Amino acid sequence: MIKFKIRQLLLVFVALVGVFTIPLWIENLYVIHLSIMVCLNVVFAISLALILKMGNLSLGHAAYIGAGAYTSSMLAVKVGLPFWLTFYIAGIASGLIAFFIGRITLGLRGIYFTITTFGLTEVFRSIWIAFRGTFGGPSGIMNIPPPPGIETKVQFYYLALIFMLISFFVFYRLSKSSFGLLCDGLRFNWLLEECVGVDTSRMKTIVFVIACTFAGLGGSILAHYLGHISPSIFTMFLSTEIIVYCAIGGLGSILGGAAGAVFMTVLGEMLFGVGFFRSLIFGIFLIGVIIILPGGLASINWNMIGRLMQKRRIA
Amino acid sequence: MCEVNYMHYAIEQDSETSSLFGVNINRVNSIAFGIGCALAGLAGALMGSIFVVNPAMGFHPLLNAFTIVILGGLGSIVGCVLGGFTLGMIESIAGLLLGTELASGIIFATLILIIIVKPTGFMGHD
What digits encode the pLDDT tens for the residues B18-31?
889 888 889 988 99
Q: Are A52 and A252 in contact (CB under 8 A)?
A: yes
* Structural domains of chain A, count: 1
Is the CB of B111 less than 8 angstroms away from the CB of A110?
Answer: no
pTM of the model: 0.85
**B66: nearest CB among A105, A115, A130:** A115
B63 and B40 housed in the same domain: no
Q: Is residue A244 part of a domain?
A: yes
d(CA A291, CA A286): 9
| Residue A21 domain-assigned (yes or no) | no
Is residue B90 within 8 A of residue B107, CB to CB? The reply is yes
Nearest-CA residue of chain B relative to A132? Answer: B101
Closest CA to A64 of A43, A38, A35, A80: A43
Q: Do residue B42 and residue B97 come from a single domain?
A: no
Indicate whether B65 and B115 sit together in one domain: yes
Which amino acid makes up residue A150? I
Within a domain: A266: yes
Over its C-alpha atoms, chain A yields an Rg (Å, rounded) of 20
The answer to whether position A228 is within a domain reads yes
Mean pLDDT by runs of 10 across the 315 residues of chain A is 72 86 83 92 94 88 94 91 91 94 84 85 87 85 86 89 94 90 87 88 92 95 92 88 88 86 87 77 82 77 66 57
Q: Is B99 on the interface with A (CB under 8 A)?
A: yes
Same domain flag for B69 and B123: yes
Q: Is B111 on the interface with A (CB under 8 A)?
A: yes
Residue A257 is part of which domain span? 28-314
Handedness of CA A132, A137, A139, A145 (dihedral sign): positive
Domain that holds residue B108: 58-126
Same domain, B64 and B25: no
**How far apart are alpha carbons A90 and A76 in whole angstroms?**
11
Nearest to A77 by CA among A223, A219, A234: A223
ipTM: 0.75
B39 and B76 both lie in a single domain: no
Q: List the single best residue of A59, A114, A126 to mutate versus B (max B Cβ within 10 A).
A: A126
Which residues on chain A are in Cβ contact (under 8 Å) with B55? none
CATH number, domain at A228?
1.10.3470
A280 touching B, CB under 8 A? no
CB A99 within 8 A of CB A205: yes
pLDDT single digits (tens) B92-106: 888 888 877 787 788
Does residue B23 share a domain with residue B9? Answer: yes
* Greater pLDDT, B74 or A39: A39
pLDDT for residue A95: 95
CB–CB contact A116 B74 (8 Å) = no
Q: What is the pLDDT of residue B75?
A: 76
For residues B13 and B39, membership in a common domain is answered with yes
CB atoms within 10 A of CB B107: 24
* Domain count across chain B: 2
User: Are the CB atoms for A104 and A116 separated by under 8 Å?
Assistant: yes
CB count within 10 Å of CB B4 equals 13
CA distance A81 to A73: 9
Q: How far is CA A248 from the centre of its chain?
A: 13
Q: Using alpha carbons only, what angle is made at residue B95 by residues B92 and B101, rounded to the nearest 5 degrees?
A: 135
